[in-house]
Amino acid sequence: MSEIRIAVFASGTGSNFRRLHEVSERGELAPGKVVLLVSDQPSCLAVSYARKAHVPVIAHTFKELGGKAAWEAHVVEKLREEGVSLIALAGYMRLVGDTLLSPYKGRMINIHPSYLPEFPGLDAVQQALDAKVPETGVTIHFVDEGLDSGPIIDQRRIQIEPTDTHETLLQKVHAVEHQLFPQVVQRVCTSC
């Protein structure tokens, strides 16, 4: 089976990117391999980690490249040059436009910190706390034109304790994400 070259998109701390990269370096994503980080936030921690780990980086703001469509066109060109066949959105905080989605439809997955369809969008952890629900979760899904609305690949539930704060619940979510995301990415690579 030929190698599935993976680009990870991240906008922030990059904890899921770091986890995917570490697992990839150990060969545990095979036939997948993380080969590129893409970010819309050039100064974010994910970019810093990638550079220290010698992972190639594409990092520009939308403004630097003349807007979202131009940014996405530039990224698609670079993805093609790198032979990327799977995109993993790992804390990428932008809606994907058609310029990027169209050539990668069915080959782009996203990790979201809730048990979708509950709490789509930004700060799902705080949304769950504000709703005072007994549980939330982690969802990995294919990306479509909507907001966290694509076909679900896998999910895990997470109990919310009355004493949980944003920080403690986020830690629980990250623990599940870091375990589940590499498993799902590897499974998707195997089925490509």
CATH of the domain at 117: 3.40.50.170
pLDDT (0 to 100) of residue 148: 97
CA distance 132 to 130: 5
Cβ contacts of residue 180 below 8 Å, gap of 6+?
138, 140, 154, 156
Token couple for 170: 């986020």
Q: What is the pTM of this model?
A: 0.96
pLDDT (0 to 100) of residue 104: 97
Token couple for 92: 């990428």
pLDDT (0 to 100) of residue 79: 98
pLDDT (0 to 100) of residue 1: 67
Split into its structural domains, the chain has a count of 1
Q: Residue 58: give the domain boundaries.
A: 4-191
CA distance 130 to 124: 10
Catalytic residue among 21, 54, 60, 112: 112
CB 36, CB 84: distance < 8 Å:
yes
Is there a catalytic annotation at residue 112? yes
Helices 166-191 and 15-25, axial angle in degrees (round to 10): 40
- Cα R_g (the chain), whole angstroms: 16
Name residue, tokens 């997955």.
109
What tens-digit pLDDT sequence spans the chain (192 residues)?
699 999 999 999 999 999 999 999 999 999 999 999 999 999 999 999 999 999 999 999 999 999 999 999 999 999 999 999 999 999 999 999 999 999 999 999 999 999 999 999 999 999 999 999 999 999 999 999 999 999 999 999 999 999 999 999 999 999 999 999 999 999 999 987
